[in-house]
Amino acid sequence: MIRSILVFPDPRLREVAKPVTRVDDEVRGLVEDLAETMYDAPGLGLAATQLGVPRRVFVVDVAGEDEPSALRAFINPELLERAGQQTLREGCLSFPGVGEEIKRAAWIRVRALGVDAEPFELEAEGLLAVAVQHENDHLDGVLMIDKLNAIKRRLVSRKVARARQTEE
């Protein structure tokens, strides 16, 4: 089911997500909804907190348009290691029309549960590493705007406010 995505400055985006205690049909349904909503938006990732669901779950798919889907679900993710640094232009479905250069680790190692409730570890670099870090930040109530200096934060806030006014 396609759900509504919260838009900044909705205070629910700042809520720290709680761990999933059991991977059951409800959690698997949430993963399906996250994927459908992300693809519909369209986006590369979506965290449960962006739907107003404070659970530690997110999905990413960084496959190119001419590539098969590479959907990955992360339940209770933990970033174990980070190395290097890269700067990429990031967007966020909770900041429509905004794209900013953000510094993040170039390589990461993450551990999570999959929809089958089995633990897995993943090493990632490039766009996948950025997407995982971005979505994991959402679970901690950290937003893309928090990675910007004060001037850029004000500009982004104004841009989002103007976009919301034109929608209404």
User: Domain 11-167, what fold?
Assistant: Peptide Deformylase (3.90.45)
At 73-115, the pLDDT tens digits run 999 999 999 999 999 999 999 998 889 999 999 999 999 999 9
**pTM attached to this predicted model:** 0.94
For residue 141, give the nearest of 18, 36, 44 by alpha carbon. 18
pLDDT band at 168 (very low <50, low <70, confident <90, very high): low
Close Cβ partners of 42 (under 8 Å, ≥ 6 residues apart): none
65, 135, 167, 168: the catalytic one is: 135
Query: 81 an active-site residue?
Result: no
